[in-house]
Amino acid sequence: FNVPVASFEIRKAISRTALKMETDDASDANLEKETPGSSSSSSSSSSSSSTHNLLSDCPHFSTCSGCTLADPATSKILQTSRSFFERTFPDVTYTHTQPTLSKSWRNQAKLATSPLSKFKPGVQLGLYASGTHTLVPIPDCSVHSPEINSAATSIQKATIKAGVTSYVKPDQSNRVNKSGKNGPPPTGHLRYVQLNTFPSSPPTLSFVWNSENYKSTQPHLSRLLKLLSPTYPNSSIWLNLNTSTRNNIINNDGWVHLKGPFYTTYPLLSGGNLYYNPKVFCQGNMEGFMEIISRIINLSNHGILKNRIEKVVELYAGVGCIGLNLVNEGVTGDYVGSDVNPENLECFMKGRKTVKKEYQRCEYKSLDAGVSLDKGLGRGRDTLIVDPPRMGLEEGVLREINGRRGEGKLGDVRNLIYVSCGLDGLMRDLEGIKKGGGGWEVRLAEGYVLFPGSEHVETLVVLTRD
């Protein structure tokens, strides 16, 4: 069969990207880190001449932990990925491509805080230096959307006037003193700021606050919002109450909607909208991810699928980012999606109302992936789409995928479309599928460098069976 798209020549992709760049790019993906210092984003490969264009001009590159690869050609993860596919599926040509601009691609950032000064209120925003709690301000980060950078600057300034202080966690070694008693507790107001920027909406600002309840955020939070209001009169503004002493950035049960629209929208590929708020998963590089979705939409046209896509079940479906696009394009007229996060349901339903009328026949369930299959969501479906969290598929799902054709809860499925954001999980799952009894054949494997500058690759794998 025929494998389209770019060849493995990432160099070509990079110089293409470099041509489009006005200044240059940098890093940031580390904003996704749940713990300080652990890096997360992605990358590619290149020659030394493209290095200049990609990373070296970002003023923060040498100190910021967001981008770890000065030269994307040194990306280990792409080598690992290519070797894995060459070794495990020698009949498949693994390709990877860098589909997005290398600058200004990030539409979601989680910025940590630290005190601006020892003696006065005011908070600076940035990322922790690798492996530390030392904050590196990144006001001119090249991979952030410009709206993220300017919102961060506005918030920093407003915290000074509003008397907002930074959350400070005493050094762990001081937490339990010699007498065995707890040391001083964490102090301060603001822990993190999450910023989401979509092209057609004002930025969504979320404040992760070291308070048990709204009342105890006062008067500082209200002062802060008042100061920001002239700059962000129509923004969606959220509070996340998080007093946990662990390193989790967001308290999933701590969301409070403060003002502005409850949802923001991102356009589907051809009319209609996806609906988001900070309670649901959102891709960090939406534009890049849309290229993967376009690829899925066009699979049938490129002779990659042996079987038509008609009836689709999608697990780990989020707000319907992949599914609603497929429905809207008429790729499937019979779709059911599911996700364990109940907040996605309303987002999906709102998005569904915006797809083309003739395609509005699609359903959604708030269910864990394995439970979705137990409840029969996979029965009678010819196509399964999965886009699981980094760790990959849960055991029950993998077991059903490995069930024989015609048997079990996925017995009718003949197309399996796996979108992966975690290479380790994907490799483990594909090893399992190869050894399993499902009779699957890998037809396509493509890496997408959605987070240039860090060790991350998003992978699209298409498998079919007779």
Ligand X SMILES: C[S@@+](CC[C@H](N)C(=O)[O-])C[C@H]1O[C@@H](n2cnc3c(N)ncnc32)[C@H](O)[C@@H]1O
Smallest gap, in angstroms, from Cβ of residue 386 to ligand X? 9
Looking at the Cβ atoms of 155 and 331, the one nearer to ligand X is: 331
Gap between the Cα atoms of 323 and 458, Å rounded: 18
Q: From the list 71, 291, 329, 394, which residue makes contact with ligand X (rule: CB under 6 A)?
A: 394
Kindly state whether residue 269 participates in binding ligand X, applying the rule CB under 6 A. no
Please identify, among the stretches 83-91, 158-166, 261-269, 387-395, the one whose residues bind ligand X according to the rule CB under 6 A: 387-395
Report the residue from 74, 298, 341, 366 that binds ligand X according to the rule CB under 6 A.
341
The residue range among 28-36, 297-305, 318-326, 351-359 that interacts with ligand X, by the rule CB under 6 A, is: 318-326
Question: Using the rule CB under 6 A, which residue among 339, 400, 412, 446 binds ligand X?
Answer: 339
Contact call for residue 291 and ligand X (CB under 6 A): no
Q: Does 150 bind ligand X (CB under 6 A)?
A: no
Least distance CB 23 / ligand X (angstroms): 29
User: Which one of residues 139, 389, 425, 436 is an interface residue with ligand X (CB under 6 A)?
Assistant: 389
The least CB distance from residue 370 to ligand X, in Å, is 7
Q: Pick from 387, 400, 412, 429 the residue near ligand X by CB under 6 A.
A: 387
| Interface segment toward ligand X; rule CB under 6 A; list 29-37, 246-254, 313-321, 347-355 | 313-321
* Residue of 321, 417, 444, 462 interacting with ligand X (CB under 6 A): 321
The single residue among 278, 318, 403, 452 that binds ligand X, judged by CB under 6 A, is 318
Closer by beta carbon to ligand X, 24 or else 374 = 374
C-beta closer to ligand X: residue 339 or 446: 339
Q: Nearer Cβ to ligand X, position 114 or 236?
A: 236
Binding site for ligand X (CB under 6 A): 281, 283, 316-318, 321-322, 339-341, 368-369, 387-389, 394, 421
